[in-house]
Amino acid sequence: MASFDVIKSEVKKRLGNRTDIDDRLNIWINDAYFELLMEPEYTFYELDTMDYVVTVANQRIYDLSPIAGLWFILMLRDETNAREVRKTSIKVLDRAAYTTGQPSKYARFADTLELDPTPDGIYTLKLRYRRRPNILTSGAYPLLNREWDEVLVVLSTIKGYEGLEQPEKAGAARNLLGPLLDKRKDMEVLEDEDSEIGIKVRTSVHGFSR
């Protein structure tokens, strides 16, 4: 991945090398960076990690603050019973009568994790989550690989045009962004459980290959 300074220089060039936007460039690039990382259609393995929560009998709420850098939860699995603990809303849990048993649902509220039913014993829960990245500053590197450089540059350029109140140029840049993101979706398909890498037969219909 290119450094923040390299990305900033490229975005500035694409915005016409203006001399009055240096401070705003930092904001636009970081806005683009965090917007990209929150996109649910893409998996950023560089930021994904996991930890464990061990329940205590009759304790319903667990402190998440000791889990360093937790941004948002991707999945919670009950390792003791080999099953998923499904996400629900805190409002749903508040409306229900409290019971005890094997946790089957969870909700996050602030820096806490609430389980339902309330655990009736010790369960080991595997928590997969995305780490919150630091804000990009001079000398820093985004927590992404090389293939995301152009996406971040284009998205930052869009933010810049919008900030400069140039909607037509922002729209033109957004037209470039779509195909770039579509190619990154194809990367996800390569790791699909049904994908096969190898020689494929090409057939021709009316002169067109497929």
- Look over the chain and give the mean of its residue pLDDT values, rounded to a whole number: 88
How high is the pLDDT of residue 41? Answer: 74
The answer to whether residue 200 scores a pLDDT higher than 50 is: no
Burial of residue 161 (number of CB atoms within 10 Å: 0-12, 13-18, 19+): buried
How high is the pLDDT of residue 182? Answer: 84
How high is the pLDDT of residue 36? Answer: 92
How high is the pLDDT of residue 192? Answer: 56
Query: 106: which strand partners?
Result: 87, 115
How high is the pLDDT of residue 46? Answer: 85
Do 125 and 141 lie in a common domain?
A: no
- 182-189 mean pLDDT: 66
Distance (Å, whole) CA 142 – CA 152? 10
Residue 201 within a domain: no
Q: Which parts of 79-209 are beta strand (E)? A: 83-87, 100-101, 105-109, 112-116, 118-119, 124-131, 204-205, 208-209
Residue 196 within a domain: no
Tally of domains within the chain: 2
How high is the pLDDT of residue 203? Answer: 45
Residue 141 within a domain: yes
pLDDT band with cut points at 50, 70 and 90 for residue 68: confident
| Contact assessment for residue 114 and residue 106, using Cβ atoms and an 8 Å cutoff | yes
Q: Which two tokens stand for residue 67?
A: 């889990």
Per DSSP bridges, beta strands 112-116 and 105-109 are: antiparallel
Query: 63: which strand partners?
Result: 112
* Residue 183 or 31, more confident: 31
The model's pLDDT over 116-163, given as tens digits with 9 standing for 90+, comes to 999 999 999 999 999 899 999 999 999 888 999 999 999 999 999 999
The model's pLDDT over 82-122, given as tens digits with 9 standing for 90+, comes to 999 999 999 999 999 999 999 999 999 999 999 999 999 99
How high is the pLDDT of residue 112? Answer: 97
Say which range, 19-23, 57-61, 121-125, has the weakest mean pLDDT. Answer: 19-23
Do 140 and 40 lie in a common domain?
A: yes
Do 80 and 14 lie in a common domain?
A: no
Do 70 and 81 lie in a common domain?
A: yes
- Widest Cα–Cα separation across the chain: 69
Do 94 and 118 lie in a common domain?
A: yes
- 195-209 mean pLDDT: 46
* Residue 190 or 69, more confident: 69
Per DSSP bridges, beta strands 48-54 and 112-116 are: unpaired
Per the structure, the complete domain to which residue 141 belongs is given by: 4-44+133-189
DSSP reduced 3-state for 3: coil
Burial of residue 163 (number of CB atoms within 10 Å: 0-12, 13-18, 19+): middle
Degrees (nearest 5) of the Cα angle 122, 126, 127? 125
The answer to whether residue 201 scores a pLDDT higher than 50 is: no
DSSP reduced 3-state for 210: coil
SS3 sequence of 37-71: HCCCCCCCCCCEEEEEEECCCCCCEEECCCCCCEE
Per DSSP bridges, beta strands 83-87 and 105-109 are: parallel
